[in-house]
Structure 1
Amino acid sequence: MFRLRLSFAFAVLVALVCCQAAFVYWGSNRVNEYAAHSRLTSDILSELLEISANKQRLRVWASQRLMNAEATSAVRDQLLERMRTGAARLDAMSRLHLDSWRKLSSREDIAVPQEVLQLVEISKLLDGNILEVQAQLQDLQPLSPGAEFPNVWRQVAQVFDMTQGRDLRELLNGAIEGQRKAVPIARAATERGLDRLRQQAIAMAIIALVAAVLWALHLRGRLKRPLELLLQGTRALQSGSLEHRIDLASGDEFEVVARHFNQMAAELQQHRQQADEARRRLEDAVQDRTRELQSAHDTLQLLDHRRRQLFVDLSHELRTPATAIRGEAEITLRGGDKPAEEYRHALKRIVGTVQQLTKVIGDLLLIARAEADQLVIQPSPLDLSMLLSEVVEQGEALAALHGAALTCEPVVETVMVRADGDRLRQAVMIVLDNAIRYSRPDGKVRLGCHVAADEVAIVVRDHGIGIGEDELPRVFERFVRGQRARAHRADGSGIGLSIAQAIVKAHRGHIEIQSWPEEGTEVRIVLARLPIHEFEASALQP
């Protein structure tokens, strides 16, 4: 569309140039016509004067001939030839002059001067007059003595001046005088024509200038807004505002450029979004990897800390039994020989200390394996009611030893779990042992089983000394014993609950403790329940 406007503008400019060229061509022709008319008027006057002069020279020649002076025929013929040539030129010029005046009259709306018409008649009379003069002069002889000169001269002058009954001298003089008057008229007409041409040229130039200026202003107005919008768009892209769009509905090539610009900006924005998304993914991946590395580092530090702590715990727990064994042996060997019974009692005490030491070493190794995810269990479908029956049998003897009463809630349905029976029994016995040992004399300990759709909880509840609220978060730490526990009984290593927690976690379960000081403690071991159809399927396998 805009190209069409430009093409139209160029077409208009070319048309104006062509008009100017045509006007210049027409004006130059008009100027030539005016100049030719003026020049023709001057030439006619010159020709009339020349004819009049030649005619006067023939008069002189005729006078000389009559007076028998030197008047040769060659001079006569030359003058006659000049007159015939001048008359022919005058005839042609008079006709051209008449045509020129007629064109000028029709264009300038002026009348043709009467002298122009007379000039055509004079040019026609001259031819006949010249022939008569020629015939008269050829017969002209010098006057004889006694001839009357005035009569002869009158006859010759009559031939020179009169043609077809008209006074050629007066006509010729009148034509000369008329041409003298016509020359200024022709010049004035030429000047008027040239002035009119000049005005028309100025008007034409003004029209072309105004048209060019108006069209330039129109194109400037059409170009200004699209160019400003495009410049704004390029500046916006340069500043990074890829969401910038050009709103241009001009219906021309600028709209096409704006549409392509918007498509380019959208593609750049999409590429930037993709780049940002890739960068974010890379940053997330780096952060994830950093977190993994940090987690691995923390795990290594934790393992190293646990290793050092294990060594500290081992040294702490092994030092006391080793010291007791050494002390018992030194006391036994001190002094002289003793009775065999005393040595036997000393060895029994040493064996008991060694068994205690072995138990502590086994517990520490169990915790170490659990912390290193190396605790080996052999899970299989297990009837929880049978496990609880075995635990009750062991717990009743222990409760009787410490003066406590153990009760068990019966399990009304078959509850199956996938567990290692020995390890799970060990964990339940640790919890039950703590409940019995930290109960008051004649205290009651209750063992039960709460069954849900997909899990089962082994619950041990006592009415013992309880655990303080500030000590409850640390009950699963190794070798940690609360103030109430130390006051109630001095023995104990403080690693039982850590072992129970490790065993339960190995079974993908969890252990929960709620305690109320001086009211008692409730421990829940929660395990996933095995669906009955899985148990039946495993039982059918050989």
Structure 2
Amino acid sequence: MYKRKLFYFGLTTALILFLALLSTAISAHLTRENLHQSTIAQSLLVEHEKLSSISYRLFKQLTDEIIFGRNANQAYVRKKQNLIQQSLTQIRKLELEQRHALGVSFTQGSVEDTDELVRLIDQITVEFREVVISDNKAPLNQQEQLRRLLEVTIDDQFREAINSAVARQSRVVAAINARIDALNSAILWFAICLGVLSMPLILYGCYWLFNQLYQPLILIANATNSIALGHYQQPISVKLDDEFEELAQSINQLALRLKEHENNEAESRKQLEREVKQRTSELTDANLQLTKLDSRRRQFIADVSHELRTPLTIIRGEAQVTLRMQSVSVADFNQTLNAILEQAINLSRLVDDLLLLTRAEMNQLNLELMPVPIIPLLESELTKWQKLAQQRAIFMTVKTTLTNPIVHIDKHRIQQVLSILIDNAIKYSKCDQPVEINLAQSDKLLTIAVKDLGEGISAAEVDNIFERFVRFSKHNEGLGLGLPIAKAIVAAHDGRITVSSSQGQGSVFSIILPLSETP
């Protein structure tokens, strides 16, 4: 009788569980379809935004062709056109998938918007070409054509078209999200209804089981209390029904095992405390490092933003002023182009420095290694800096047993490192103080040391001086990339760079490189 009632109770519970699982499966299928549609819609929205970004960069480079000549930015223009074609292909593919999934009425206008965008992009490209090939002897006509192209075709027509496509796709995304919310609400109410209907049956079954299992549960509860109090010797000694006998044996075995584990508890706790303390210390150190790195990252972003904003503002201002002039002479054009070129060179240098550090971190710094006599290279650098800083005393000493030591290096990269160290030595020491370049040999290593007699570097600064983006309060020029670049280049040559300094006595930066094997 007991088993039969238990069987009925299990059958009823299984039926309720089957209904719950069936509804869950249906809900999962509908949710997956909606999420797939949402993914397509989100991807389309991203592709429209990507198309807008690439198109505006293409228009900017086509504008550069008008300013700098027909051959300017050809490679970049072709690249951007290929990217636009790829984006349009992806948009058409996703739109067809979306239309197949949602229907024509739900996605009405999507394909037509794309066709309009293609037409506008082609039209704008053709009009740019017409401005480029127009007669250069009539700059005012060119300016009017360019103004109409920028203000009417691009700012009004193209911007309106791309914004319309983005807005339409945003509405599709919002509608799909609303559909998902409605489905979730329906699933929630179904679950509530199912719970309301099944709860009385479950409560009744639980009440019946409680009455049937009360005595065995009391014995088991007393046994567990005995185990909790530390009484592990046969906590259940009464013979129970077959359904509970196996459980009673398991509890008795558990008591014996707990007794064994209790004997080792103190040692395990101590070991755990040691490990927790060690992990806590490691996490604390890691958190401090992360905080430090985040602070430097924020400073770097601010510095780079400032360094990029200034030349870009100058370039934009020079170009706008020249374009607004009614009559522009060759001298005015040359002055504008020179100013833009100067700022472009500054931007290029900054980007090159950041790219060099990134490639060095990824072990992708390409070096053109060849055997180079080091003394002529140092003499060349010495001559160059003596000309650049004629008011400074810059000299070199050589202490080596080899008459012509040779190192296997990338000559231009090592010259870059020497320029960084010599420039820092000149910058951070007084005008009447000399700068010394020392060359020394030790076993199979060659050491190039750049010494100055400046204020020196504090111990706290020395520990972090080769880290990227580190600048100190009294040395606030630049972005703090020079020494990290020098370290990356020397490390790529299987060498190392060190610094020794004392407050008020100057600093010595040493480059240590392996000597090449003499033939």
So what's the TM-score if we normalise by structure 1?
0.38
Q: In terms of Rg, which structure is larger? A: 1
